[in-house]
Amino acid sequence: MHDPHQLLEAGPESVRRLARRRHELDIDALDGALRARALARAEVTRLRTELNHTAKARRSGPPTDAEREAARALRGEVQRAETTARTTVDTLNDILLGIPNLPLDQVPDGISEKEAVEIRRGGPAPCPVDGARHHAEIGETLGILDPSGAARLSGARFSVARGAGARLERALGDFFLDLHTAEHGYTEQSVPFLASRDTMTGTGQLPKFEEELFHTRVGERELYLIPTGEVPLTNLVAGKLLDVRGLPYAVTARTACFRAEAGAYGRDTRGLLRLHQFEKVELVRVCAPEDAQQQLELMTAHAEECLSRLELSFRTVLLPAGDLGFSARMTYDIEVWLPGGGTYREISSVSDCGDFQARRAGIRVRHADGRKTPAATLNGSALPIGRTVAALLEQGVRDDGSVVLPDALVPYTGFRRLLPGGGTE
CA distances in angstroms from 400 to 167, 397, 404, listed in the order given? 22, 8, 11
Residue 342, sorted as left (phi over 0), alpha (psi -120 to 50) or beta, turns out to be left
Catalytic residue among 58, 162, 346, 366: 346
* Rounded Cα–Cα distance for residues 343 and 125 (Å): 13
Q: Is 152 a catalytic residue?
A: no
Q: Is 274 a catalytic residue?
A: yes
Catalytic residue among 14, 327, 349, 381: 349
Q: Is 69 a catalytic residue?
A: no
* Rounded Cα–Cα distance for residues 414 and 194 (Å): 33
Catalytic residue among 37, 285, 315, 387: 387
DSSP 111: S
CB 244, CB 367: distance < 8 Å: yes
How, if at all, do strands 330-338 and 187-188 pair?
unpaired
Query: Sheet holding 364-366: strands in order across?
Result: 241-243, 364-366, 372-374
DSSP labels, 141-168: HHT-B-HHHHHHHH-SS---B-THHHHH
Strand partners for 284: 251, 379
Phi, psi at 331, each rounded to 5°:
-140, 135
Strand partners for 223: 216
Catalytic residue among 133, 170, 274, 366: 274
Catalytic residue among 17, 259, 345, 364: 259
Q: Is 349 a catalytic residue?
A: yes
Which residues belong to the active site?
259, 274, 346, 349, 387
